[in-house]
Amino acid sequence: MTVTVLGLGYIGLPTALLLAKAGHTVHGFDVNTARVEGLNQKQLPFEEPGLEELFSAAHENFKAETSVQPADVFLIAVPTPQKDKKADLTYVLSALEMIKPVFAAGNTVIVESTIGPIDSRRTIIPLLESWGMPFSYAYCPERAIPGNTLNEMVKNDRVVGGKTAQDAEKVKDLYASFVSGNIFLTDPTTAAVCKLMENTYRDVNIALANEFALLGEELNFNVWEAIELANHHPRVHLHQPGPGVGGHCIAIDPWYFVGESQQTALIKQAREINDAMPQHVSELVKKTAQKLQIAKPIVGLLGYAYKKNVDDARETPAETVARAVEGFSTCLVADPHCLNTRRPLEDLENVLATSDIIVLTTDHDIFESIEFSRYSNILAVIDTRNFFTAQNFAGASVENIVLGTPAK
């Protein structure tokens, strides 16, 4: 098959390369010409385990292009930001506009971008129908987690939502060329709802864990220990509290239900609980500064990425924590994983050597070796992920405040 992949980001690029490695001829298209040129000079635009090796194995069948090439299949993996609690389809619609001039009767369009529950039925399929040619269509939500994208793209089960049963079968065959997991067939609306439910499930459960963390601080118990013990029950799988929810999925997708229906009280409440966590972390910092009697502390945030061991800072709660903390402190942020962020980041050693209060925002492995005894300037550490151990504090006289545990 010849496949044109539109959008060479966190999902589109690995998908394009997996298709190329499976033997398809793949044209990658991105509106960012610098990214296209970079790829053709073998420069990858972001970090992802195994991506470099995959790129070397696949590059003979893959070419990045600055215009949309004709193909049997057009796969759309462009961003769908949130706008008014709905998926903003601007980039999907503009990708479709770019496909139109090269589209031929019988071609297939696949959308992988996260869209609202009824967007295929309400907008995308009618638009394709208006072109007046026979076509196949499927909505196939991506399910890969940043940091383990390649593995999950190959091994995870997939849901293919075809406009017709034949469309679904056709698209299943394409995915089966690189997916070893099961591929389940359904209609586009069910496929979209399924994707949004997966991330909403996680968001609601993280909100529950965060609420338990607030209870831990109020009622004087250690939420981390309580969750660990509760999870020994065979039917309980509590999630972990933290400084809030980031990333381009869990913090956004639940809104796509809220934007379509009034019957979303729990989903909305969970979003609000998780969105309030950065402010709570900032309050912990403020209280600590007051206790230490430092009028304008230097606060060092460790970690800017939205989760451990990735360079991805989309919707990161660390940015919200930093903005809140800046109201009463000088805030420095260090993250050796993140290189191209809008916020200027500081050198890790510099942050450790100058801060009065350290806040662990992202549990990157590289922070495991920090020895607080080496920095006499640090008076308190606020750990929002229950990350540091006694080893990090050996020989140090630092107050260790852990989110969701009794105030000392």
Residue 194 DSSP code: H
Interface with ligand SAJ (CB under 6 A): 114, 142-146, 198-199, 202, 206, 239-240, 242, 245-247, 249-250, 306-307
Residue 406 DSSP code: -
Integer-rounded Cα radius of gyration of the chain: 23
- Active-site residue flag, 195: yes
| Residue keyed to tokens 């004709």 | 70
Nearer to ligand SAJ among residue 202 and residue 268 (C-beta): 202
Q: Which helix (H) or strand (E) holds 58?
A: helix 51-58
Q: Min. distance of Cβ 306 from ligand SAJ in angstroms?
A: 4
Nearer to ligand SAJ among residue 75 and residue 378 (C-beta): 75
> What is the residue type of 146?
P
Q: How far, rounded to the nearest angstrom, does the alpha carbon of residue 359 sit from its chain's CA centroid?
A: 22
From 140, 249, 331, 338, the catalytic residue: 249
From 21, 170, 172, 195, the catalytic residue: 195
Q: Min. distance of Cβ 10 from ligand SAJ in angstroms?
A: 8
Residues 39 and 64: beta-carbon distance below 8 Å: yes
Strands 108-111 and 73-76: parallel
Q: How many helices (H) and strands (E) does the chain have?
A: 16, 15
Q: Min. distance of Cβ 158 from ligand SAJ in angstroms?
A: 11
What's the CA gap between 54 and 21, in Å, rounded?
Answer: 8
Question: Coil, strand, or helix at residue 34?
Answer: helix
What's the CA gap between 182 and 167, in Å, rounded?
Answer: 17
Nearer to ligand SAJ among residue 198 and residue 399 (C-beta): 198
| Residue keyed to tokens 């350290």 | 358
| Residue keyed to tokens 């502390």 | 297
| Residue keyed to tokens 């209609």 | 187
> What is the residue type of 135?
F
Q: Min. distance of Cβ 217 from ligand SAJ in angstroms?
A: 16
Nearer to ligand SAJ among residue 30 and residue 142 (C-beta): 142
* Bridge partners, 159 (sequence order): 184
Nearer to ligand SAJ among residue 11 and residue 398 (C-beta): 11
Q: How far, rounded to the nearest angstrom, does the alpha carbon of residue 363 sit from its chain's CA centroid?
A: 15
Nearer to ligand SAJ among residue 128 and residue 305 (C-beta): 305
Q: Min. distance of Cβ 274 from ligand SAJ in angstroms?
A: 8
What's the CA gap between 199 and 169, in Å, rounded?
Answer: 26
Task: Please state the length of the chain.
Answer: 408
**What token pair was written down for 217?**
């601080």
Q: Min. distance of Cβ 231 from ligand SAJ in angstroms?
A: 11
Q: Min. distance of Cβ 328 from ligand SAJ in angstroms?
A: 24
Nearer to ligand SAJ among residue 222 and residue 240 (C-beta): 240
- Active-site residue flag, 249: yes
> What is the residue type of 145?
I
Which residues are known catalytic residues?
195, 249
